[in-house]
Amino acid sequence: MFNSVEKGKPIEVFQLNRMFLEDPHKNKANLGVGAYRTTEGKPWVLPVVRKTEIKLTQDESINHEYLPVCGTDAFTQAASGLLLGEQSKALAEKRAFGVQTLSGTGALRLGAEFLRKKLGRTIFYYSDPTWENHHQVFTNAGFETAKTYRYWDQVNRQIDFKGLLADLSEAPEGAVIILHACAHNPTGSDPTQDQWKQIADVMEQKRLFPFFDSAYQGFASGDPDKDAWAVRYFVDRGFELVCAQSFAKNFGLYCERVGNLTIVQKSSKTTEAVHSQITLLVRAMYSNPPAFGSRIVSAVLNDPQLRQEWMDCIKTMSSRILQMRAALYGHLTRLNTPGTWNHITEQIGMFSYTGLNEKQVRILIEEFHIYLLKTGRINMCGLNESNVEYVAKAIHCAVTR
Ligand code: PMP
C-alpha cells in the first residue's frame, strides 16, 4: 500500500543544519539556522526563563491536568496585551482576544483554518520572498489560490514598494494578505511607517484581510512596542484582523511551542461565536495546547520585575545582532568587496538578505564550510567575534571569483 508514496522534498534549513553538524572543519559556521546564538556560538537559555522554569518545577500546586482548549486567560491575555499594548481599546472592549497555539506556525495554521472553513476565504497573498512555510501552511489548511505580492528589489537590495502596492491593488476583495509584523523573514527589510500607511490605504480600499505574522516582537529592535507598531496601527484604523505570535525567538522557547493567535473584531458581539468555532477547530486538530512553555511566558509577562528582566534579555540579543551587522559590514568595506553592503546594517532582525547568488552560496558552503540558504539569507546570530572576519573574507572570495 505504501509503495505509491513518493519521497518528499527535504526541508532546506534542517538539511543545512545536519550538514553543518556532520562537517568536521574547524572554521565551519552555521548561518542557516533560524535561532539565536551567543558570542560563543551556543544556544542561549534566557536567565529569566531558566529562573522561572526552575521555580515552576518546584511549585507543588502545579499539576498536569489539561489546559482549556484555547489556553489559559493568564497566558492569552498577557500575549495579546504584549501585541496590542496594555492600553489597547480593542482588548478593553473585549472585541480582541487570544488563543494559545502551537507556536507561531500553529497560530498561522489555526488562523488559516478559521478563515478558510468559517469565513470561506480561498485566496491568500504572501510576499515574494517570504518564510518558506507560509505557502504550505495555508494550502494545507485548504486555501485554493496562492498568490505573491512583489516585495524585494534584488538590484537595489531594498523593498520594491511600487511593485508591492501595485500587486495589492490588484488583489480581489476579501483576499487574505500575510504581512510580516516586523523583521521581515528573509529580507530583514520592513516598510517605513509611511509605507505601512499606504499599505493600509490600499487594503482598506480593496477590502483585503490583514493576517499579521509576528515572530520577532522585541527581538528585532529590543523594544516590543516599536516592533508591534504596524499591527497596532492597523487596529487603530479599524481593521478586523488576525495576528500569529511566536514566543520561539523572543523567549528562546523554540521547542516548547508557545504561540498565540490574536483575533481583532469590530465588535464584541461576535466574540462568543468566533471563540466557540475556534475551540472546535482546535479540538479537532490537537485538542489542548501544551502547558510548560506558556506557564513560563505568562509568569514572566505578568510580573513587573520578571518582565523587566526579560526586556533586558531581548536588548542583549538585539544589540549583539546589531554589533555583528556592523562588524560584517566593516570587514567587507575594508576588504573593498565589490558591491554595496549598506543593506547589512540597514536591515533589522536576525536575518540579512545578502544579495549573494546561488553560485556564490555554493562556494561558501563547499569551499569555506559556511552554511547559508541558497537565497543568500544569513542569520546574523551565527556570526561572532571569532568568525566574522573569516566569513567576510570568504564572501569576498566568492564575490570576486
Ligand atoms: N513566521 C516567521 C516569519 C518565522 O520566521 C517563523 C520562524 N522561523 C515562524 C513564523 C514560526 O516559528 P515557530 O513556529 O517556531 O514559532
**Which tens digit of pLDDT belongs to each residue from 27-62?**
999 999 889 999 999 999 999 999 999 999 999 999
Relative to beta strand 145-150, strand 123-128 is parallel
Within 10 A of 93 (CB to CB), how many other CB atoms are there?
Answer: 12
Closest ligand 1 atom to Cα of 34? 8
379 Cβ below 6 A of ligand 1: no
pLDDT score at 189: 95
Show Cβ contacts of residue 154 under 8 Å, excluding neighbours closer than 6 positions. Answer: 355
213 Cβ below 6 A of ligand 1: yes
Is the Cβ–Cβ distance between 214 and 228 less than 8 Å? yes
Closest ligand 1 atom to Cα of 131? 3
CA-nearest residue, atom 8 of ligand 1: 34
Is the Cβ–Cβ distance between 352 and 380 less than 8 Å? yes
Single out the catalytic residue among 44, 131, 152, 341.
131
Phi, psi (deg, nearest 5) at residue 127: -70, 150
Closest ligand 1 atom to Cα of 184? 3
- Catalytic residue status for 249: yes
Check whether 157 has a pLDDT greater than 90: no
Is the Cβ–Cβ distance between 213 and 104 less than 8 Å? yes
Average pLDDT rounded to a whole number, residues 318-331: 96
- Catalytic residue status for 213: yes
> Cell numbers 481593521 correspond to what residue?
239
Check whether 325 has a pLDDT greater than 90: yes
381 CA to centre of ligand 1 in angstroms: 16
- The ipTM is 0.99
Question: How far is the C-alpha of 120 from the C-alpha of 97, rounded, in Å?
Answer: 21
What CATH number does the domain located at 66-302 have? 3.40.640.10
pLDDT score at 144: 98
Greater confidence (353 vs 178) lies with 178
CA-nearest residue, atom 13 of ligand 1: 104
Average pLDDT rounded to a whole number, residues 87-114: 98
pLDDT score at 302: 98
187 Cβ below 6 A of ligand 1: no
3-state secondary structure of 157: coil
CA-nearest residue, atom 12 of ligand 1: 104
pLDDT score at 289: 98
Nearest-CA neighbor of 76 among 311, 247, 241, 223? 247
> Cell numbers 518546584 correspond to what residue?
58
Domain 10-44+318-400: homologous superfamily in CATH: Aspartate Aminotransferase, domain 1 (3.90.1150.10)
Question: How far is the C-alpha of 326 from the C-alpha of 371, rounded, in Å?
Answer: 20
212 CA to centre of ligand 1 in angstroms: 12
pLDDT score at 155: 86
pLDDT score at 59: 96
Q: Give me the chain's average pLDDT, please.
A: 96
In sign, the C-alpha dihedral spanning 83, 126, 13, 101 is positive
Single out the catalytic residue among 227, 249, 310, 341.
249
Residue type at 89?
K
Domain boundaries defined on the chain: 10-44+318-400, 66-302
Closest ligand 1 atom to Cα of 180? 3
123, β-bridge pairs: 145
Question: How far is the C-alpha of 57 from the C-alpha of 54, rounded, in Å?
Answer: 5
Q: State how far the alpha carbon of 67 is from the alpha carbons of 110, 161, 267, 298, 302, in Å.
A: 17, 44, 27, 14, 18
339 CA to centre of ligand 1 in angstroms: 31
